[in-house]
Amino acid sequence: MASSDLGTVGPYELLLQLAKGGMAEVFIARRAPVAEAESGGAGAAAAAGGAGLEREPLVAVKRIRADLQYESSYAEMLFDEAGIASRVASPHFVPVLDYGLDERGAPYIVMELVVGVTLKHLTRASEALGVGDAIELIAQAAEGLHAAHEARDSAGELLQVIHRDISPSNVLVAVDGRASICDLGLAYALRRTTRTKTGMVKGKLSYFSPEQAHAWPLDRRSDVFSLGVVAWEVLAGRRLFGGSSMVSTLHAVLQREVPPLSNEREGVGQAVSAAVARALERDRDARWPTAADFARALRAAAEREGHAASRAAVGARVAEVLPPPLKPLAPSYGPGGPRVTKETIAALPSLCAAGAAGEGDAGGILPGAPRRPSRG
């Protein structure tokens, strides 16, 4: 097939823009086929490129936006993210596979391509996630988060990673029904080169922990609180700490009463409600001490209340809401990313023509979950 008009980054050919954010843009990519001159002409190049593609998965390439590529601070942030993420090992954390500088000296990182949607996207569907499925997805995300918290350097010392931006937009759910934490762009680590400037706000305010809202020193329990907010919202089917302004949102984080989930969602009992409530304790000493503890508590509560999870059902639901440009990749998706088959090679021109497949990050109310009848 013809090369993409999006060009190359290092040894990777860009095929489709997935998303574009404040600092970076993300593409579906593949290792560039063998050059014609090195392989005996166009026919040989196509054959060699096709054979190589079928041995390697498609990947996601994240690079600094073109207008920011010469800003040294952004380059340092991207390499910091790559260095931290490459130390995290979990099936529930999107791994970094490679990173480097392109021909113009601009940094890029290469990640596993997750064929799926964000938890934010998934919970916008007309029907709420089942209680068991929602709990299992949050528990998987908690496991991925714990793996990041436990990341160590080459000497075995904890990097003391804090994600700082846990939200439904940073939990990916794949067509195989698996949830993964992504995006360490705002993460803190003890040995990170770049640092947040005093007074700068990092992360999404409605998912801040109280200590983030106060600009106090953070530890991993801050991320546990943020994931607790996500869990509450996914199960309740509505926002918890939304506000009309920065001040009102932060005030909600610090002061608004958190209704018990058992009052919000039909079928949610005291065990699940208590597990999430402990993650949302404003006193961090009263919270679950680790994300792994939160995951175990959620699963134990689900079992106690009889909430079953179906990975196949979650995967089928993801496939239904998958953006059209990504649908051809779903059948070949597996561990490590989607394998390129003859069918996906044939579909690549249409993927390129379809343009960006990413979703915007505009706020929105989650769809209504089955609510518990009023007690009044």
Give the rounded percent of residues in the chain with a pLDDT score beyond 90.
Answer: 49
Domain with residue 30: its CATH number is 3.30.200.20
For 215, residues 6+ apart whose C-beta sits below 8 A from its C-beta are: none
102 is a catalytic site residue? no
Query: Is 370 within the bounds of a domain?
Result: no
Q: Is the pLDDT of residue 214 over 60?
A: yes
Mean pLDDT of the chain: 82
pLDDT tens, residue by residue, 120-179: 999 886 678 999 999 999 999 999 999 999 999 889 999 899 999 999 999 999 999 999
Asked if 342 and 289 sit in the same domain, the reply is no
Q: How confident is the model at residue 48 (pLDDT cuts 50, 70, 90)?
A: very low
Asked if 280 and 192 sit in the same domain, the reply is yes
Q: How confident is the model at residue 66 (pLDDT cuts 50, 70, 90)?
A: confident
pLDDT at 242: 87
Give the rounded percent of residues in the chain with a pLDDT score beyond 70.
Answer: 76
Query: Is 58 within the bounds of a domain?
Result: yes
The alpha-helical segments, DSSP class H, found in the chain are 36-39, 42-53, 72-85, 119-122, 131-149, 210-213, 220-236, 246-255, 261-264, 270-279, 291-305, 311-321, 342-354
Query: Is 374 within the bounds of a domain?
Result: no
Give first-to-last CA distance, the chain, whole Å: 65
Q: Is the pLDDT of residue 44 over 50?
A: no
Number of compact structural domains in the chain: 2
Asked if 103 and 185 sit in the same domain, the reply is no
Query: Is 79 within the bounds of a domain?
Result: yes
Q: Is the pLDDT of residue 359 over 50?
A: no
Active-site choice (165, 176, 183, 223): 165
Asked if 122 and 169 sit in the same domain, the reply is yes
pLDDT tens, residue by residue, 216-243: 999 999 999 999 999 999 999 999 998 8
For 32, residues 6+ apart whose C-beta sits below 8 A from its C-beta are: 3, 8, 11, 12, 13, 49
Domain with residue 151: its CATH number is 1.10.510.10
Which residue did the predictor score with more confidence, 103 or 108? 108
Asked if 296 and 156 sit in the same domain, the reply is yes
Which residue did the predictor score with more confidence, 139 or 27? 139
Query: Is 320 within the bounds of a domain?
Result: no
Q: Is the pLDDT of residue 3 over 80?
A: no
Which residue did the predictor score with more confidence, 41 or 167? 167
Degrees, nearest 5: CA angle 103-46-8: 15
Query: Is 363 within the bounds of a domain?
Result: no
Angstrom distance (rounded) from CA 244 to CA 168: 19
Asked if 50 and 158 sit in the same domain, the reply is no
Helix (H/G/I), strand (E/B), else coil: 14 = strand
Query: Is 182 within the bounds of a domain?
Result: yes
The whole domain housing 110 covers 8-115+328-354
Asked if 105 and 137 sit in the same domain, the reply is no
Asked if 106 and 223 sit in the same domain, the reply is no
Helix (H/G/I), strand (E/B), else coil: 340 = coil
Q: Is the pLDDT of residue 119 over 70?
A: yes
Asked if 137 and 237 sit in the same domain, the reply is yes
pLDDT at 186: 66
Asked if 153 and 294 sit in the same domain, the reply is yes
Asked if 252 and 347 sit in the same domain, the reply is no
Asked if 105 and 157 sit in the same domain, the reply is no
Query: Is 323 within the bounds of a domain?
Result: no
